[in-house]
Amino acid sequence: MSIKKNFVYNTALTIFNTLFPLLTYPYITRILGPENLGKFTFAQSFAANFGMFAIIVSPLYAIRLISSNRDNPDELNRGFSGILLINMISSLVMTIVFLTSFLYMEKAQTEPALYIIIAVSILLNAFSIDWLFQGLENYKFIAIRNFIFKAVFILLIFVFIRQPEHYIIYALFWLIVTYGANIINMIASRKKAKLTFSNLKPLSHLKEIGFFFAINLLSIGILNLDKTLMGFILPKEEAYVTIGLYGVADKVIQIALSVTNSLALVILPRVSYYFSNNKMDEFYEKMDLSTKAYLMLSLPLFAGIILTAPEIVMLISGEKFLGSIPLLQVLSGAILLVGFAYISCLQILTGMKRENLYLITLGISLAVQAVALFFLIPVYKGVGAAFGMLIGYGTQVIVSFIFGFKEFRLFFFKVSNLKYFLAAGLMSAAVYFARYIPLDILILKFILLAGIGVIVYFSVLLLTREVLLTGILDKLRKRLFPGRTGGGA
């Protein structure tokens, strides 16, 4: 399947994944409230520390292995079977370890039902084999499956979640829908790869598996360290409320990142394939495309979220979550930093088989982030956690930039890329002054600000003949008016 079709399916999935929390999260936050939402969020974050040990073979390595062997059915089957077997064993072991931790953790003992549900998610995560379909560039299946299961989740939430005490039921629905999809994965995988237990040789890729396992370990640690440390450093009740407020801001940022990073994930199997086959011209062409897409999407989202944070929080969560506004404004910096890291770490270092440098980058970042969080959380609480995360992401960007500078200079430092900064700057000015327009209806105020921002930003890009946008419009024109010629970009 072509990159264009995969991008269409992944974009459709991204749009739905963006709309999904916008449909459910305002309802959930208002029903559960900061404290009960914080309980669920902390349990998820705590379990993630066990989950990162449960998946020995990381999705990154699995995607690369599958994409490299997609033309060799025997190697594909052996690779698929070996990865699945290793992850099943490690997931079972870590589920037992997680359940054992109940004996030593007060928060788990006071919420046994919640933590048992979370424990089952660790076990079922072994069957999350999206990496098979991503490696084969079959994003159509992933998109359709996710749409169906999340539609079911929406129905369950609005029918059954009615009181603050229903956070346990919410966790159960989350488990069924999120990990029930893994069962469908296993059924569908039979048409793509066959389970085999002959000549698996699981130790043949031990070095690479070890590198990617360490990468996955550090990546999950970086992602969840903020919420985990808040849960242990802050007093119990304060911790749950703070994590609940923080979770709203984090949810908005994750939505934005799903948009900015969608193309990076689609391109990863292809750039790995190009590099493995020494097709460097094609490799650099895709990297240039990915960089432009990152700049075009991340800059307006970063600026827009900072300027409209009060409206976003009020629309999503209501007055109980006003404390999320400064957290959201600080965390918006992650949109720029994480997007850059996706290019530098995932596409350049991983795509060019420099996993050792990726590992060093993550190790330094996690160490710096941990120190920052330990010092900032006790004093500044949620805001301190947000700044600590940005310090960690910033460290990751600086280190990976140094390691990948030779490649970056070929497609990042281009005069043509300045147009994105110009457009974002003009958009920010327009939205800032538009805030003074007297309008008391919250949703209309947000639509006005967002509309002005979108119009100004993309108008500037069109006037400066931005290649991606004009290319998309030209293709639309040719599809809608196939008989006309000329006038395209």
What sign for the dihedral angle of Cα 343, 345, 346, 349?
Answer: positive
For residue 355, the one-letter residue type is: E
Helix (H) / strand (E) element for 101: namely none
Contact, 433 vs 453, CB < 8 A? no
Q: What is the three-class DSSP state of 162? A: coil
Contact, 8 vs 143, CB < 8 A? no
Whole-angstrom distance, CA of residue 42 vs CA of residue 247 = 9
Whole-angstrom distance, CA of residue 404 vs CA of residue 417 = 18
What pLDDT score does 489 carry?
Answer: 34
Contacts of residue 106, Cβ cutoff 8 Å, sequence gap at least 6: 236
Whole-angstrom distance, CA of residue 461 vs CA of residue 470 = 9
Lookup: tokens for 83: 């990865």
What sign for the dihedral angle of Cα 203, 204, 206, 209?
Answer: negative
Identify the CA nearest to 216 among candidates 9, 48, 447, 47: 48
What pLDDT score does 8 carry?
Answer: 66
Lookup: tokens for 275: 């590099």
Whole-angstrom distance, CA of residue 248 vs CA of residue 235 = 20
Each residue's pLDDT tens digit in the chain (489 positions)?
555 566 666 666 766 766 777 788 889 999 999 989 999 988 888 888 888 788 887 777 788 788 777 778 888 888 888 888 888 888 999 999 988 887 777 777 788 889 899 999 998 888 888 888 878 877 778 778 888 888 888 999 999 999 999 999 999 999 988 888 788 888 888 888 887 777 766 566 666 777 777 877 888 888 889 998 998 899 877 888 999 999 999 989 988 887 787 666 666 666 666 766 777 777 777 777 788 888 999 999 999 999 999 999 999 888 889 999 999 999 999 999 998 888 887 777 776 777 788 889 999 999 999 999 999 999 999 999 999 999 999 999 999 888 887 777 777 778 888 999 999 999 999 999 999 999 989 999 999 999 999 999 999 999 998 877 887 787 777 777 776 654 443
Indicate the burial class of 120 (C-beta count within 10 angstroms; 0-12, 13-18, 19 or more): middle
Q: What is the three-class DSSP state of 114? A: helix
Whole-angstrom distance, CA of residue 279 vs CA of residue 454 = 37
Lookup: tokens for 57: 């073979």
For residue 29, the one-letter residue type is: T
Please provide the DSSP assignment of 439-481 as one string: ---HHHHHHHHHHHHHHHHHHHHHHTT-HHHHHHHHHHHHHH-
What pLDDT score does 104 carry?
Answer: 77
What pLDDT score does 158 carry?
Answer: 92
Whole-angstrom distance, CA of residue 285 vs CA of residue 271 = 10
Q: Which residue has the tokens 């890329």?
A: 417
Q: Which residue has the tokens 């409209």?
A: 308
Contacts of residue 84, Cβ cutoff 8 Å, sequence gap at least 6: 126, 127, 129, 195
Domain definitions of the chain by residue range:
3-413
What pLDDT score does 487 carry?
Answer: 45
Contact, 80 vs 193, CB < 8 A? yes
Q: In Å, what is the CA distance from 289 to each residue of 58, 128, 294, 469?
A: 26, 29, 9, 12
Count Cβ atoms below 10 Å from residue 115 Cβ, excluding itself: 21
Whole-angstrom distance, CA of residue 449 vs CA of residue 437 = 10
**Conformational region of residue 412, where left means phi above 0, alpha means psi within -120 to 50, and beta covers everything else:** alpha
Whole-angstrom distance, CA of residue 363 vs CA of residue 22 = 34
Lookup: tokens for 456: 């100004």
pTM for the full model?
0.76
Lookup: tokens for 64: 């690369």
Contact, 302 vs 333, CB < 8 A? yes
What pLDDT score does 76 carry?
Answer: 83
